[in-house]
């Protein structure tokens, strides 16, 4: 609203505002014609000759209107072009920066067997590539938020490598949004065991109307994990009797949940790699400034703060 008032005051008359608005509308129409032509070829699989004929007719009309509208650039239409250029630059810059960030993060994406291996006494240690030190076990459940939903979460890899420790029960928690309002409770959770002892991957499929991260998220995941462990393993005589291996797994889960439950999120700091050329360095500096001033993950988290740990680590881009 404030921006509209300022623009109206600067332009001072409706003719100049109309010039700026006209260029905006014609640009949108021309871009729409181009995109519809691409969709007709790539998605709808129309005959390319029909699409070309369509584009020549409507593209010529839109092009004629656009060329006429561009004649009004000195009379107020410059503002629309300037604003579109700034926004386009910001979007392209953000995409460029995220591509560099994802490329750096791929270095820490690997299978659990690449990070951890078993010891002779049933424990866990880091592989030789990461020092080979013994990984101690701390009581409780650690829920590690996972962005990608496959491999080892970056925050867990950093946690184990830096502290040589792991929670008694580990949950890799990944949220997968779907393009529908809501997902039924019975279809929402996908649970898998990993190669790490006492470690599970839980994927929550949710719609855009579902609320997933709530104060009781931990207990909900423990309940789903209990159902997963006991599914199909109850005896015929009693629903409370399970095979010894299943009972041991349930006891470990129950003991860990009674001890403590901690949510672990990653806070990634980006650093520009030495030797980067000046042009690339300037672009990355602008991206990092936008990233530091954008909305953080913590703003959407609705879980008890005394159970939340945000672990920071530095990556070079």
In a shared domain, residues 57 and 179? no
Phi, psi of 89 (to 5 degrees): -65, -40
Q: What is the pLDDT of residues 118-138, one digit of tens each?
A: 888 878 999 988 888 999 999
**Contact criterion met (CB below 8 Å) for 197 and 249:** no
Residue 309 included in any domain: yes
- How many CA atoms within 13 Å lie on the side-chain side of 282? 2
In a shared domain, residues 123 and 69? no
237: pLDDT strictly greater than 50: no
In a shared domain, residues 56 and 124? no
In a shared domain, residues 58 and 141? no
Residue 101 included in any domain: no
- Residue 254: both structure tokens together: 């129950």
In a shared domain, residues 159 and 13? no
Residue 145 belongs to what domain range? 111-231+240-316
pTM, two decimals, is: 0.79
Residue 90 included in any domain: no
In a shared domain, residues 171 and 59? no
pLDDT category of residue 300 using cuts at 50, 70 and 90: low
Q: What is the pLDDT of residues 196-232, one digit of tens each?
A: 889 999 999 999 898 888 888 999 999 999 999 988 6
Output the pLDDT for position 150.
83
Residue 304 included in any domain: yes
In a shared domain, residues 262 and 199? yes
Judged by average pLDDT, the poorest of 39-48, 60-69, 233-242 is 233-242
Cβ-in-10-Å burial (0-12, 13-18, 19+) of 210 comes to: middle
In a shared domain, residues 33 and 173? no
Is the torsion defined by CA of 214, 217, 219, 225 positive or negative? Answer: positive
Residue 86 included in any domain: no
Cβ-in-10-Å burial (0-12, 13-18, 19+) of 248 comes to: exposed
In a shared domain, residues 125 and 253? yes
Q: Which of 76, 101, 124 is the last residue of a domain?
A: 76
247: pLDDT strictly greater than 80: yes
Report the C-alpha gap between 313 and 108 in whole angstroms.
12
DSSP assignment string, 224-286:
HHHHHHHTTT--SS-TT---HHHHHHHHHHHHHHHH-EEEEEEEEEEEPPTT--HHHHHHHHH
**Contact criterion met (CB below 8 Å) for 269 and 158:** no
In a shared domain, residues 12 and 127? no
Residue 82 included in any domain: no
CA–CA–CA angle 286, 287, 290 (5° rounding): 90
Phi, psi of 6 (to 5 degrees): -65, -45
The total number of structural domains in the chain stands at: 2
In a shared domain, residues 220 and 282? yes
In a shared domain, residues 162 and 287? yes
Q: What is the pLDDT of residues 90-114, one digit of tens each?
A: 999 999 999 999 888 888 788 888 8
Report the C-alpha gap between 217 and 206 in whole angstroms.
14
Q: Give the mean model confidence (pLDDT) for residues 182-191.
A: 90
Higher-confidence position of 78 and 11: 78
Q: Give the mean model confidence (pLDDT) for residues 155-164.
A: 91
Q: Which of 76, 100, 134 is the last residue of a domain?
A: 76
- Residue 89: both structure tokens together: 């630059």
Report the C-alpha gap between 91 and 96 in whole angstroms.
9
Output the pLDDT for position 234.
54
Q: Which of 76, 94, 128 is the last residue of a domain?
A: 76
């Amino acid at each position: 609203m404030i921006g509209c008032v300022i623009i109206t005051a600067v332009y001072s008359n409706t003719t100049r505002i109309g010039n700026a608005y006209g260029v905006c509308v014609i640009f949108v129409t021309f871009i729409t014609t181009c995109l519809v032509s691409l969709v007709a070829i790539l998605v709808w699989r129309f005959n390319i000759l029909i699409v070309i004929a369509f584009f020549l007719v409507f593209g010529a009309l839109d092009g004629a209107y656009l060329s006429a509208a561009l004649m009004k650039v000195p009379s107020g239409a410059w503002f629309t072009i300037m604003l579109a250029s700034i926004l386009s630059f910001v979007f392209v810059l953000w995409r460029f920066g995220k591509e560099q960030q994802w490329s750096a993060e791929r270095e820490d994406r690997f299978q659990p067997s690449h990070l951890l291996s078993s010891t002779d006494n049933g424990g866990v240690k880091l592989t030789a590539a990461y020092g080979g030190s013994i990984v101690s076990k701390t009581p409780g459940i650690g829920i590690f938020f996972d962005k990608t939903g496959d491999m080892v979460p970056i925050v867990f890899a950093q946690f184990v490598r830096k502290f040589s420790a792991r929670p008694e029960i580990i949950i890799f928690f990944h949220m997968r949004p779907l393009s529908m309002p809501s997902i039924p409770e019975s279809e929402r959770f996908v649970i898998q065991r990993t190669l790490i002892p006492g470690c599970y991957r839980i994927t929550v499929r949710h719609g855009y109307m579902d609320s997933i991260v709530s104060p009781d998220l931990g207990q909900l995941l423990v309940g789903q994990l209990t159902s997963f462990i006991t599914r199909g393993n109850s005896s015929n005589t009693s629903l409370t009797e399970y095979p010894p291996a299943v009972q041991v797994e349930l006891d470990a889960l129950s003991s860990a949940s009674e001890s403590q439950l901690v949510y672990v999120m990653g806070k990634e700091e980006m650093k520009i790699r030495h030797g980067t050329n000046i042009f690339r360095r300037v672009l990355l500096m602008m991206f990092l400034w936008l990233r530091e001033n954008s909305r953080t993950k913590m703003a959407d988290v609705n879980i008890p703060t005394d159970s939340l740990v945000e672990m920071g680590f530095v990556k070079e881009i």
